[in-house]
Amino acid sequence: MRVELVRIGNSRGIRIPKALIEQCGFGGAVDLRVEKDRLVIAPDRAPRQGWKEAFAAAGSSARDSLPFEALPPNEFDDAEWTW
């Protein structure tokens, strides 16, 4: 879709049709950034939105091995390390 830039003071803007706003899920604010010479307008979302669900979907970490427990002790562990 081609849209014209409109003058807003010393800046320029675009009008986004209502149908596109609804399709993209835009609220009162959007995230605006430049990626590879392109302007990206994305829905404004809270930081880390969806992380809780992603962690829950990953399952329990109870069976995960700890990599340092699998290593044999070295000279520092045997001679110098104290609590």
Question: Residue 24: its pLDDT value, please?
Answer: 92
Q: Mean pLDDT across the chain, nearest whole number?
A: 87
pLDDT bracket for residue 71 (50, 70, 90): confident
Better pLDDT: 63 or 21: 21
Our CA angle for 27, 9, 17, nearest 5°, is 35
On the question of pLDDT at 68 being above 70, the answer is no
Beta bridge mates, 41:
32
- Domain chopping of the chain, boundaries: 1-46
Range 1-46 has CATH code 3.30.1010.10: no
What is the percent of the chain where pLDDT is above 90?
Answer: 48
